[in-house]
Amino acid sequence: MSANPIGEKFSAPVPQALGAREFMIERLILRDNTRELLRQNGQEEAIENDLITLSECECRMNVYDPTKCKCHACEGHFLLAQFYYDTEQYDKAWRWYSKIQHADLRAFYQLAVMCFEGEAPKDCTPKDAYQMMLEITSKEKDPHSFLIPYAEFHLGKAFFQGYGVEQSDEKAESWWLLAARDDRHEAVIEAQTALAFFYSRKNTDAYNLNKTLYWHNQASRNGSLESLGAMGAMNLFGIGTSKDINQAIDCLRQASERGNIYAIGLLVYAYYTRKLFTKATDLAKRVSALNDINELSRASCCLPQYICKGIAIASFILGRCLELGHGIKKDSNQAIMMYKKSFRYDPDACQLLQDYLTHEKI
Ligand SMILES: [Zn+2]
């Protein structure tokens, strides 16, 4: 059985958008950001006031000039802007970042990100976003030059999506390759994952599963949950590499433990095909109880569509176990509910598993 449609569909689809908030940049700077702090403490006003105090310059200039300021005010500006950004007060964030955009490359970068994400004032165009990112890539001497590969990653995205520029797979690829290498700066993991998906698109010139495997491997070593899950899937179905169920279970388990719901779905599937029914049902029960996709996406930084796929797979397998009494007490009503849940979360994944079932493969 060399043709393996289910494996291909589960292991290699490129996320359609590759964009917007999916590869969230905000988590790349100030990882433990304000929002998390607020989530725990809820003292929004007090924090804002503290930051406003911090942004007051003590350098005795008549007119504040961030490039001349020698005190903490410039950092205060940045943190205050960041606070407004994290709390989604984009008008204010824009204003405060703008004040220091020539003194702090991070602020300029954030303005560019906001342009990309459509959080900028209305007169900012996608073209502006492109130009700003391009400008950042020339700041090799800046103290915050670590941002350059992130800008390169965005430029790759711009070309991939044709956002502010004419769509070009070749240019997307070359920007992502710059962002993904780690000789000058730390590599952008998202660029490595993006490249892996880029090479996994069938019927394109770039299609190359060796490259997909290489970049997923790099990215998962650097901590990408998405790539770890994808590696698991490739090993599980023998896509781009030989089938290795133990290796698959190893990758998927690691990814699952770190909250990748898609990986959990595949792990349930892997357990089921190995006839480890108790393991499969225990895990599936936990996943099929999940429902807050947005919160799960925020916490795991995984794509919502893949979280849905994970829940769909787990629900389907749980339904199958309930129907047959594998590893769990037979219950046909519950089984039907689980099949329905699977379909609701991802009709495609549900359909694939259904087809598989029809052909008595599982
Ligand atoms: Zn100052």
pLDDT digits (tens, 9 = 90+) for 50-94: 889 989 999 999 999 999 999 889 989 998 998 898 888 999 999
Ranges 24-38, 141-155, 188-202, 282-296: which has the least confidence: 24-38
Report d(CA 187, CA 222) in Å as an integer. Answer: 9
Q: Is the pLDDT of residue 18 over 80?
A: no
Instruction: Taking residues 230-258, report their average pLDDT.
Output: 89
Residue 100 CA to residue 79 CA, distance in Å, equals 11
**The amino acid at 77:** H
| Ion ligand 1 residues within 5 Å by Cβ | 57, 59, 69, 71, 73
Query: Among 40-44, 270-274, 308-312, whose mean pLDDT is lowest?
Result: 40-44
Radius of gyration of the chain (CA): 23
- Residues 138-146: what's their mean pLDDT? 92
Q: If you measure from the C-alpha of residue 63 to the centroid of ligand 1, how many angstroms do you get, rounded to a whole number? A: 11
Question: pLDDT category, 358, cuts 50, 70, 90?
Answer: confident
pLDDT score recorded for residue 207: 92
On the question of pLDDT at 313 being above 60, the answer is yes
Rounded to the nearest angstrom, the gap between the alpha carbon of residue 283 and the centroid of all alpha carbons in its chain is: 23
Q: What is the structure's pLDDT at 201?
A: 86
pLDDT attached to residue 27 = 37
Report how far ligand 1's centroid is from the alpha carbon of 107 (Å).
17
In this predicted structure, which of 25-34, 194-203, 226-235, 312-321 has the lowest mean pLDDT?
Answer: 25-34
Distance 149 CA to ligand 1 centre (A): 30
**Per-residue model confidence (pLDDT) at position 184:** 82
| pLDDT of amino acid 261 | 87
